[in-house]
Amino acid sequence: MAAITGLLALIFSCGLDVFIYLHPVTYRDFVPSPDPLFNYFSFLTSDSRNHNDAADYFKGFEIYYRIYNNSGTAATDRSQINQYNEDNPSLAYNYIINTKSYRRLLTSERTSTPLITGATTNRQVTVRLVPYVDEVPSMYVDTTYLGVPRRNVDDGIYSDAAIFDFEEINDGDSDVSWSSWNDTNNKQLYVQAYVLAYGYDESYKQLYSELFYLGFITLEE
């Protein structure tokens, strides 16, 4: 696994094979839990290694998510995605998009690609979807505010109404996998997410690292 911890893109240049290697994120501060204190995503970027090894191609990071109303369904998808990511790291992006229908996260301030612009040093990213005490839904890269997270329900077209609110999420939404509730007396939704390094080559072919699992955030009724 360590030997293939990123996407290898092959380019032919002057008869020589040149490999573009994007390093994935490898560190999160904790696994999110329903405990309001830890019910958000927090991870460290891999800017430094990507800047050092692929500065001409590395552009930043993208986060992909999907919403589930059943934790077992989320766990099954997670297991399948993680296994595919381990077996086929260079194809994991296509798998999560085309097979598992994950959607690209948007924010009120960032709808263009990439969501997180690359830098030369690693940075701390926090994504909060639900309020807690004096914290409100927001996304920060270190101390830089990237806006309020927004769902991607219409092929990347931004909508201020597409919020991560329990009452606004419905069966049939393009970013939702709907099945039976775990507990009809205590309904919860689970926002499961992955982060990838992103870039492109001289021909503007998009490049992605392997996936890194961020966990899931719980939304209460």
The pTM assigned to this predicted structure is 0.91
State the pLDDT at residue 20: 87
Which tens digit of pLDDT belongs to each residue from 89-110?
Answer: 999 999 999 999 999 999 999 9
Strand pairing partners for 162? none
Q: How many domains is the chain built from?
A: 1
Range of the domain at 79: 2-220
State the pLDDT at residue 154: 80
Tokens encoding 163: 């919020």
The residue type of 140 is: Y
Task: Give the chain's residues under pLDDT 50.
Answer: 1-7, 9-15
Where b means 16+ CB within 10 Å and e means fewer, 120-156 reads eebbebbbbbbeeeeeebbbbbeeeebebbbbbbeee
For the chain, what percent of residues have pLDDT higher than 70? 91
